[in-house]
Structure 1
């Protein structure tokens, strides 16, 4: 049979074009797969592990004086004539801090001193009369009744001396009240009186921080209070970034029925310029504990909650809300939400959303070299 020349040419053209079309299709499929792979976020993962971590409690509380003494006088209606100290000044025990007008007290003391001398003179005369009377009675020159009267006079003279001495001591004591003296070494923390002011007994005039000692106090719920004991160390961080170390001195034996909290008291041996009343955050070290930890880079905030991403079905990221505990170095304790061994996303977690398709790759060199140990609290 004779084949038409045009038909032969068509068959030849189709045969030549078929391999070319197949190559173009394969090229397009490969390009689409490459684009899909390029659009998938590359992430790295690390497993949840258990480690011994330095356990502790972070809480805020005020700095206060260990003992702040309220100072006043025991006299009323007297005017302040001298102020010898000001706020912030260090004082010694027995130092005169304040003086009242003591002219009337000086007069009363002089009268009491004179009355005592008079009583002592009378008592001396009564004793001398009794001695002479006893000699006369021995020779029968005076009667027994007269001798008894001389003995009574001596007793009365000695009683007057005792009365006069008590009055003198009372006047001396009142005179001493006119000088307000420091009851102990310390620092004046407050002054509530001015020179020339008339004061009353019991009125607070000054405050003294005994020995300049400061402490830090924090209120804790019962669940945390039980973990703290005397001798635990604390670290306070001031607003200037200065760390101040202290030691727990005492822990409340119970909790308040209203607030359900108890108080921790910590001594600050070297307060380094801290002021009473300053509210600071402190970390109380309570020992070590076994905890589930993940790198801090794996935790991101989603809708205000700490969240981690785990990989399911090989390439799907699923968001899980977790509860955090202590942070030590680059590791964060997970108290709820994850199981040991579960792989969480570290690099790339901040760019993920629930359900994203991901591609798991090895961590970068810098991340792989990052130490993953539970060190001490910074």
Structure 2
């Protein structure tokens, strides 16, 4: 009985091995189907897109004025403004010590009074000389001297009057007033300092008016005209609107760029000296567009993936243009009738197999 049981064991093992080998031939091959990536596709469409030119440049005062006194050698008594103060036209900004200037006015007034007295005497002498000359009681030369004395006295009075007016003018210069309304942007003076004529003491941004000075290459500069709309973002993200005031008539010889000056009536949080990026709006034009999610950037170039033969994709290098409202202009690289991958393009390579699904399913990877 025992030899019969031992011979049946190898037969059973062989049967089990054959069953295992036969089972592997019926398993389905899922490798190829698992490699297909779910994507969403669309066909490029022609739509009207705004024509924009992007640029960057400095925010600057439209006109920033350097203010100083016209009277030199006088001590500053008061500074009436601080940086950031808004001032009205004619408002006093600083005051010089006026004691010496007031004394010059009094001296000029005294000189004018003396000239008036001398003129009164000269007029009387001239009248007496004419009368005596008519009566032939005085030599003609003596009479002429008396008459000339009146003319000299009148000239001396005019000189004294001019000196008085000049002294009063100098006294008026002792108060520095704002020539225009605006904002004080800089202050380089303190009370007690001796001011020299022509030295900058304060700076004023006229009418609080700022402008954007954008630099553009020559190809874009010629497309900009006065009145073109501009749009910037301030440092808190709010939109700032403006209009081109003027375009520079010449380009920089080295950079081959020109400056565009755009007025910013409501600059928001922008300040003079800031650097800002913005764009010029030139109208609209029809353009071939795809969703911006379809564009893939690699190695400094932009690509789209289109459905090619069967369920595989082909990579197309394209040139893009204006972006607006989630769409991007395709200037070259497409014919317009292709099916372009819009979801999942960033994971694709040339020749990859894909499975087209709805956009929502492609986004979740189902």
Q: TM-score, with normalisation over the residues of structure 1? A: 0.83
Q: How many residues align?
A: 342
1:104/1:71 CA distance change after superposition, 3 Å: same
Counterpart check, 1:180 vs 2:176: yes
Question: Which of 198, 203, 207 in structure 2 is aligned with 1:207?
Answer: 203
1:8-64 deviation line (CA, Å, top 9, x unaligned): xxxxxxxxxxxxxxxx97x75xx43x6633431232322233332110112222221
SS at match of 1:184: coil
Q: CA RMSD in A?
A: 2.5
Shift of 1:362: 5.5
**Which one of 221, 235, 238 corresponds to residue 234 of structure 2?**
238
1:263 aligns to what?
A: 259
State which of 156, 160, 184 in structure 2 corresponds to 1:164.
160
Aligned to 1:306: 302
Unaligned runs of 5+ in 2: 1-23
CA distance in 1: counterparts of 2:260 and 2:308, whole angstroms = 46
2:185 pairs with 1:189: yes
Cα displacement (A) at 1:216: 1.3
Residue equivalent to 1:82: 78
Say if 2:75 and 2:195, in contact at 8 Å, map to a contact too: yes
- Provide the residue aligned with 1:49 in structure 2: 45
The answer to whether structure 1 residue 128 and structure 2 residue 124 are counterparts is yes
Give the TM-score taking structure 2 as reference length.
0.85
TM-fit CA distance, 1:225 = 0.8
Separation of aligned partners in 1, 2:267 and 2:123? 66
Bigger drift between 235-244 and 350-359 goes to: 350-359
The 10-residue stretch of structure 1 (172-181 or 214-223) with the greater mean CA deviation from structure 2: 172-181
Q: Any idea what SS the aligned residue of 2:307 has? A: strand
Query: Which runs of 4 or more aligned residues in structure 1 lie more than 6 Å from their structure 2 counterparts after TM superposition?
Result: none
Alpha-carbon deviation of 1:363? 4.7
Alignment of 1:280-295 (within 5 A): 280-295=276-291
User: CA separation in 2, counterparts of 1:67 and 1:252?
Assistant: 16
Measure the CA separation in 2 of the matches of 1:75 and 1:343: 79
| CA contact 2:129–2:144 (8 Å) conserved in 1 | no
Mapped partners of 2:319, 2:124: distance in 1: 96
Give the corresponding residue for 1:375.
Answer: none
Q: What secondary structure sits across from 2:284 in the alignment?
A: strand
Q: Cα gap change, 1:202/1:336 in structure 2, threshold over 3 Å: closer, same or farther? A: farther
The equivalent residue for 2:114 is 118
**Shift in CA distance, 345/126, structure 1 to aligned 2, threshold 3 Å:** same
